Chains A and B, each alone.
Chain A
Amino acid sequence: MLIEQKIEQFVKREGRRPRILVSSMGQKRHDQNTRQLATLFAETGFDVDISPLHQTPRGTARMAIENDVHIICFLSTENNHKKLVTELAKVLMAEKAENIRIVIGGAIPRSDYDFLYGAGVDQLLNSVQIDTEAVKQLLDLFE
């Protein structure tokens, strides 16, 4: 199925486009990859929120809840993704927002996968580049 059709189905089901927060969590600056990621999602038909810099897991959760996004996405660049995911999942749970999906990309060693899935990650992107196939898989999470 084409990605456009998948988005259309989503809108028919949910009453709005898939909304994703691209968080700068764990990053020292807005890098090119994060911007590219946001643009790609928007061009695919998502509504994309971009976080301020220096966002903490708590700030990310708050923004995700306030903007009522379906998905939080961030790229791991500082190799602290385990800690960030654990904290983020904890805050979301405490705020009764555990239904918000967590997606993480970047250079993540295979050996961390089990830990991350166990901690609450719904999808891992195995690089910083994301293609339409990965976006389709992401939308499958909601079917």
Chain B
Amino acid sequence: METQDYIDGVLKQNRRIVAKTITLIESSLAAHQEKAKTIVDALLPYAGQAVRIGITGVPGVGKSTYIESFGLQLVKQGHRVAVLAVDPSSSKSGGSIMGDKTRMERLSLEQQAFIRPSPSSGTLGGVARRTRETMIVCEAAGFDIIIVETVGVGQSETTVASMVDFFLVLMLAGAGDELQGIKKGVLELADAIAINKADGNNIEHAKKAKIEYEKALNLLTPSSKIWSPPVLTCSAVTLDGIDEIWQTILDHRKKLESSGELADKRKKQALDWMWALVEEGLRDRFYKNPDVEKSLPQIIKAIEKGKTAPTIAAYMLLNLHDQGFSESE
């Protein structure tokens, strides 16, 4: 397929070609990345209108089940929903198991939905670039709501929060120790917290947890002048509270739009995007520099044997890279 075939296919909302374009974006081959860049550039003018939502939460909080219920409701209202999920790859074999769709049985069959799990393999920076570009492709293909799902461990939340309009953190009501194990950093990123599985015997626990979280949020300085993150409760099973969360997202959008904060946010995101690309490019050039590649094994060995200090080794490697750069100029 030629570059133009991809562009036309995405704009015609062809599911197979949207999928193939995402594969190009995720590819580690330079030729594929080159092609993907051209395609994304061409699609950029057609993107940017969607509501971008990030959803995170620890494993077991019920993210996939929540997205199934939430997504189905949005589809029913006439929206077209794309779900992008990042699944951690095994560091041992490099392989991964992507089982999100097992819990999105009905949404995965909807004509108005598109669900694409991606393995996280490689660096975190890589995931960020790929997810941003995939978002553009989905928006150009007419999806007006983009949901990015991440596992609530590690730094991936910060990355995802920096590319969406609304960041939803799902929590569980525990037995009185709600705040244990929750990183303050995650709360700071949240535009709303939703306590999931608020059904049956758990409703009372959820209500108590809600008060705890509200107290915790009060201690934080809100990142927006016009928005303080609410704490909600919901159940992906009884569907209680699901619509309230959607209304909260819409309310947030309206407020940010009228105050101009949304435009500022998108501007800042564009800058974040640029810096992420610069950093990825620098890293890439460093590792692909022939001088660096040649000397790296020796230098690593020297450090392992204790012959060279890490500080000196790093300095040497960076110098090798700089020299190669000035020679090619």
Q: Which residues of A contact B (CB under 8 A)?
A: 7, 11, 14-17, 30, 38-39, 41-54, 59, 62-63, 65-68, 95-97
Whether the Cβ atoms of B16 and A44 lie closer than 8 Å is no
Contact present for A42 and B93 (CB under 8 Å): yes
Complex-state Cα separation, A16 to B130, whole angstroms: 13
Whether B28 contacts A15 by the Cβ 8 Å rule is yes
By beta carbon, the residue of chain A nearest B103 is A52
Contact B19 A52 (CB under 8 A): no
Closest-by-CB residue of B relative to A43 is: B93
Q: Does B259 contact A (CB under 8 A)?
A: no
8 new A-B contacts, CB < 8 A, other than A15-B28, A16-B23, A62-B109, are A16-B27, A17-B94, A17-B121, A47-B96, A48-B95, A52-B104, A62-B15, A96-B16
Interface residues of B in 86-124 (CB under 8 A from A): 89-90, 92-99, 101-105, 108-109, 114-117, 119, 121
Question: Which residue of chain B has its CB nearest to the CB of A95?
Answer: B16
**B26 interface residue, CB < 8 Å from A?**
yes
Whether B32 is near chain A, meaning CB under 8 Å from some CB there, is: yes
Asked whether, in the complex, the Cβ of B108 is within 8 Å of the Cβ of A59, the reply is yes
- On whether the beta carbons of A46 and B32 are closer than 8 Å, the reply is no
- Interface status of B29 (Cβ within 8 A of chain A): yes
CB of B29, distance to nearest CB on chain A (Å): 4
A30 to B: closest C-beta gap in Å: 8
- Tell me the complex Cα distance, A120–B71, Å: 35
* Residue ID in chain A nearest B19 by CB atoms: A68
Query: B8: shortest Cβ distance to chain A, in Å?
Result: 14
* Most chain A CB inside 10 Å of its own CB: which residue of B89, B90, B102: B102
A50 lies within 8 A of B101 (CB): yes
Among residues of B, the one whose C-beta sits closest to the C-beta of A46 is: B95
Complex: how many Å from CA A31 to CA B270?
A: 46
Contact of A65 among B15, B28, B95, B103 (CB under 8 A): B15
Partner of A51, one of B23, B97, B102: B102
Q: Contact check, B16 vs A16: say whether CB atoms are below 8 A apart.
A: no
**A45–B119 Cα gap in the complex (Å)?**
12
Ordered by A's residue number, 7 sampled pairs between the chains whose C-beta atoms are within 8 Å are A38-B97, A42-B96, A43-B92, A49-B98, A49-B101, A52-B105, A67-B19
**Docked CA distance A52–B115 (Å):** 13
**By the criterion CB–CB under 8 Å, are A42 and B97 in contact?**
yes
Determine if B27 and A15 form an interchain contact, defined as CB atoms under 8 angstroms apart. Answer: yes
Chain A residues with CB under 8 Å of B114's CB are 66
Cβ–Cβ < 8 Å partners of B102 in chain A: 30, 50-53
Chain A residues within an 8 Å CB radius of B20: 68
Instruction: List 6 A-B pairs, minimum CB-CB distance, nearest first.
Output: A15-B27, A15-B29, A52-B105, A42-B95, A68-B19, A50-B99
**How far does the Cβ of B112 sit from chain A's closest Cβ, in whole Å?**
13
CA distance A17 to B90 in the complex (A): 12
**A14 to B94, alpha carbons, bound, how many Å?**
15
Q: A15-B32, A66-B19 are in contact. Are A53 and B95 (CB under 8 A)?
A: no
Residue of B whose beta carbon sits closest to that of A66: B19
Asked whether, in the complex, the Cβ of B105 is within 8 Å of the Cβ of A39, the reply is no
Are B105 and A53 within 8 A (Cβ)?
yes
A59 touches B109 (CB 8 A): yes
Interface string of B28-66 (1 = CB under 8 A from A): 110010000000000000000000000000000000000
Q: Is B22 an interface position by the 8 A CB rule? A: yes
Least CB separation from B119: chain A residue:
A47
- CB-CB under 8 A from B19, the residues of chain A are 65-68
**Bound complex: CA A33 to CA B27 (Å):** 31
Closest-by-CB residue of A relative to B107 is A52
Contact A41–B95 (Cβ < 8 Å): yes
Task: Check A42 against B90 for contact (C-beta < 8 Å).
Answer: yes
* Distance in Å: Cβ of B142 to nearest Cβ of chain A: 15
Question: Distance in Å from the Cβ of A129 to the closest Cβ of chain B?
Answer: 19
Contacts of A66 in B (CB 8 A): 15, 19, 114-116
Q: Which of B197-244 contact A (CB under 8 A)?
A: none
Bound CA span A72–B93, Å: 21
A54 CB to closest chain B CB (Å) equals 7
Closest B-chain residue to A24, C-beta based?
Answer: B102
